[in-house]
Amino acid sequence: CKKASDIICSVVRDNKNALLGLATGGTAEGVYKYIVEEFKNGKIDLSNVKTINLDEYVGIGGDHPQSYRRYMDDHFFNHVNINKENTYVPITTGDIDRELLNIKEIIDGNGGTDIQLLGVGRNGHIAFNEPGERLNASASIVDLNEDTIRANSRYFSNIDEVPKKALSLGIGDILKSKKIILLAFGSEKANAIRELLSNDFITTKVPCTLLKAHNDVTIIIDEALSEKL
Ligand code: GLP
């Protein structure tokens, strides 16, 4: 997480107007903790930075405790000097077509994000692009699969409360980023990371393998995962 924070901070130091592509999930929490620490130590200025998040559940508003807007405010935005008006987390309670256009404008207006932070699902999903015959190139409404609903139910009081759909950036949106960092911790991510690192195939059945088509990806794993590889 410290390493990922260092990379993100160096992108911001090089370009104070950078557009950061951000992720949620348990893995990313540590990254934000270290960026906040840099800010508190006076080593980073985020006042001109813009951000866009990968995804949001459909049907829950930004004030819902498990919304990704709330996650971002709680773990990151409320603790730094970022201008909240420059932070975009998809809004899924209103006009979805308008939101999809907003996303396109933000990403294409900057020629892709300057850096994209990614976690990965146990099934290899990135953002909420679930394994399947086809993957979306651009942002769309997607169905969450059983495994993802089960994994994310730990944040809800019971599994029935987990939304079944999400708005997610597409694989093309992610690949437009100038630089990508993917973090994967824990042995349960081993299958996904093995498919990414130990062969030369790309398959929509393991969406993170699409990252092989990008030429600036940093993959950071922990010991528990590396022991499984
Ligand atoms: C979630 C998010 C992904 C995240 C992944 C891993 O469902 N949509 O963006 O990377 O699952 O989450 P975690 O870091 O909690 O394992």
- Predicted TM-score (pTM) of the model is 0.97
pLDDT at 215: 97
DSSP helix/strand/coil, 120: coil
Q: Is 113 in the pocket of ligand 1 (CB under 6 A)?
A: no
Edge-first strand listing for the sheet containing 55-57: 55-57, 165-168, 140-143
Q: What is the mean pLDDT of residues 201-208?
A: 98
> How many other CB atoms are found less than 10 A from the CB of residue 134?
6
- Which ligand 1 atom is at minimum distance from the Cα of 54? 9
- Any catalytic annotation for residue 130? yes
| Residue at token pair 């092989």 | 212
Q: Please tell me which residue in 38, 55, 56, 99 is annotated as part of the active site.
A: 55
- Any catalytic annotation for residue 79? no
pLDDT tens per residue across span 38-69 = 999 999 999 999 999 999 999 899 999 999 99
Mean pLDDT computed over every residue of the chain: 97
> How many other CB atoms are found less than 10 A from the CB of residue 114?
21
- Any catalytic annotation for residue 108? no
What are the residues facing 180 on neighbouring strands?
116, 217
Q: Is 124 in the pocket of ligand 1 (CB under 6 A)?
A: no
- Any catalytic annotation for residue 123? yes
The answer to whether residues 30 and 3 touch, using CB atoms and an 8 Å cutoff, is no
pLDDT at 167: 97
* Distance separating the N- and C-terminal Cα atoms of the chain: 20
The answer to whether residues 139 and 169 touch, using CB atoms and an 8 Å cutoff, is yes
Beta strands 165-168; 55-57: pairing state: antiparallel
Q: Is 26 in the pocket of ligand 1 (CB under 6 A)?
A: yes
